[in-house]
Amino acid sequence: MSTFSAPRGTYDLIPPDSAAFLAVREALAAGPRRAGYGYVETPGFEHVELFSRGVGESTDIVTKEMYTLTTKGGTHLALRPEGTASVLRAALQANLHRAGGLPVKLWYSGTYYRYERPQAGRYRHFSQVGAEAIGAEDPALDAELVILAADAYRSLGLTGVRLLLNSLGDPECRPAYRAALQEFLRGLDLDPDTLARVEINPLRVLDDKRESVQRQLVGAPLMRDHLCQACKEYHEGVRELLRAEGVAFEDDPRLVRGLDYYTRTTFEFVHDGLGAQSAVGGGGRYDGLSELIGGPPLPSVGWALGVDRTVLALRAEGVDPALPPGTRVFAVPLGEEARRALFTVVTELRRAGVPADFSFGGRGVKAAMKAANRSGARYAVVAGERDLAEGVVQVKDLDSGDQSPCPLDTVVAELRARLS
C-alpha cells in the first residue's frame, strides 16, 4: 500500500471513471469550438492581485478560499481559483484585442483550486471548461454563450438542468440599487462579518447560503426594479433570443453568483439532483473587468461549466455519456515468432485508427484470453507457430465465440472491414 494519499478535498481520476470525465469535457468544449472560439491555456498560478482586483476583495473566494504562496524572490502568487481573470489577462498581454475582429473568442479547460469544506460536489480542486467572448457588447453574444452551454448539457442526455437568468445592471443604475439594498440590510440581525460585507459589497449578502440569512432577505429590494432603460432593453433582448431558440429559462431576481465582476446578464445552470451543490455551471457579462486589471474598456461575457458537477448530474439521472470506442482488437501471441508478427499487426491496426492491445509479459493462452475479454475487445487475434507456418492467424469473435483463420497479410484489412 502507498505511504501517501491524495490531499484532503482532492481526488484522483483513474480508469474506468476517468473516461466519463473526458467525454464530458469533450462535450462541453464542442460547442465553443464550432462557434469560432480558439483554445487558450494559462498558468496554474497567477499574481495574487489579479484575483483580488478582478474577482473582488469582498468575495469568499479571495478572503477565505484562495491558495496563496510567496516565492523565494518575495512574489505573492495564488493558485487560480477561477478562469476568467486569467484568460482576460492572457488576452490583454498578447494584445489580442488589437488584432482586429472583436470579439476575441476563447475557450479553455483546466483545474482550479479553492480551500473549501470538502463535501459531495465541492472539492478543493475541480475541473472546468470555460468560454469567453472579449470586447463586444451585444445581447446576441450573451445568448450565444447561454445556448452553447444549454446545448452541451442536452447533447450529454441531461434533462434535469434548469437555467436561471438575471440582470445585475450597470454602473448607471446599480449605485441606486446598492444604496437601497444597504439600507435594507443594515436593519437586519446579521453577524459582524456579514455587516462588514454590507458596506463593501451588499450584493454578496444576497448570495449567502445560510438559512438564518436567507430567511431575513424576504422583502429585500430587487435589482430588476432598479434597472435603467438601457439595461432593461438589453436584458429583454437576451431573453427574446433565448425564447426564439427554444431555450427555457427561469427569471431569478436574486441570482448574483459569487464574483464581483458581473454586470448585466448573469446566469446559472442548476440540477436539483445534486442537493446543496446544485450549480453545474454559470457565467455572465463582465464589462468592467478589463479596466479593473489594468486594461482598456472591453465589454465581455463568458461562462465556466463544471466537469465534476456535470458528471454527478449524469449519475443522478442514470445517464451514461457516450464514450469513444475502447480496445476493439486484442492480440494473443503463442511463442516468440508470433509475438513479433502480432506486434506488427497491432501497430498497423493502431496506425489505421483501430484501438488495439497486446498480451504482454508472455502469459499463457488461458490468462491472455481472460485479458482479451476484460479489455472489452470485439475480436481476439491468436497465432502460434503452426498458424504462422501456414501464413494465417486465428480471428475469434469474443461476442459469439466463432473463430476462423485469416491470412496474416490481410488480417488488418479484414478486421477494419468487420469493425466498420
Domain contains 376: yes
DSSP-derived secondary structure for 37-100 = PEE----SEEEHHHHHHHT-TTSHIIIII--EEE-TT--EEEE-S-SHHHHHHHHHHTTGGGSS
Per-residue pLDDT of the chain (420 residues), as tens digits, is 568 999 998 999 998 889 999 999 999 999 999 999 999 999 999 999 999 887 776 667 777 889 999 999 999 999 999 999 999 999 999 999 998 889 999 999 999 999 988 777 788 999 999 999 999 999 999 999 999 999 999 999 999 999 999 999 998 998 888 899 899 999 888 888 888 888 888 887 887 778 888 899 888 898 889 999 999 999 999 999 999 999 999 999 888 876 667 889 999 999 998 877 789 999 999 998 999 899 999 999 999 999 999 999 999 999 999 888 889 999 999 999 999 999 999 999 999 999 999 999 888 899 999 999 999 999 999 999 999 999 999 999 999 999 999 999 999 999 999 998
Q: Do residue 381 and residue 308 come from a single domain?
A: no
pLDDT at residue 369 in the model:
95
Q: Do residue 369 and residue 254 come from a single domain?
A: no
pLDDT at residue 164 in the model:
97
Q: Do residue 145 and residue 287 come from a single domain?
A: yes
Domain contains 210: no
Domain contains 289: yes
Domain contains 260: yes
Q: Do residue 374 and residue 240 come from a single domain?
A: no
Q: Which helix (H) or strand (E) holds 403?
A: strand 403-407
Tens of pLDDT along 177-205? 889 989 999 988 888 888 888 888 888 78
pLDDT at residue 362 in the model:
80
Closest Cα to residue 160, out of 241, 254, 275? 275
pLDDT at residue 54 in the model:
76
Domain contains 392: yes
Tens of pLDDT along 86-101? 999 999 999 999 988 8
Among candidate residues 317, 348, 369, the one where a domain is terminated: 317
Q: Do residue 146 and residue 74 come from a single domain?
A: yes
Q: Please state, in angstroms and rounded to a whole number, the distance separating the CA atoms of residues 281 and 295.
A: 27
Q: Do residue 295 and residue 410 come from a single domain?
A: no
Q: What is the CATH number of the domain that holds 53?
A: 3.30.930.10
Among candidate residues 317, 350, 377, the one where a domain is terminated: 317
Tens of pLDDT along 54-78? 777 666 777 788 999 999 999 999 9
Q: Do residue 312 and residue 335 come from a single domain?
A: no
Domain contains 33: yes
pLDDT at residue 259 in the model:
64
Closest Cα to residue 183, out of 221, 209, 224? 221
In terms of residue numbers, what domain contains 262? 17-173+227-317
pLDDT at residue 58 in the model:
61
Contact between 87 and 108 under an 8 Å Cβ cutoff? The reply is yes
Domain contains 159: yes
pLDDT at residue 261 in the model:
74
Angle, helices 17-34/139-155, rounded to nearest 10 degrees: 150
Q: Do residue 250 and residue 284 come from a single domain?
A: yes
Domain contains 220: no
Q: Do residue 295 and residue 400 come from a single domain?
A: no
User: Residue holding cell 509475438?
Assistant: 339
pLDDT at residue 199 in the model:
85
Q: Do residue 307 and residue 336 come from a single domain?
A: no
Q: Do residue 74 and residue 132 come from a single domain?
A: yes
Q: Please state, in angstroms and rounded to a whole number, the distance separating the CA atoms of residues 123 and 113.
A: 8
Torsion angle of alpha carbons 381, 384, 386, 391, nearest 10°?
40
Whole-model pTM? Answer: 0.89
Q: Do residue 235 and residue 346 come from a single domain?
A: no
Total domains in the chain come to 2
**Residue 385 neighbours by CB distance under 10 Å:** 12
Q: What is the CA radius of gyration of the chain?
A: 27
Among candidate residues 273, 288, 317, the one where a domain is terminated: 317
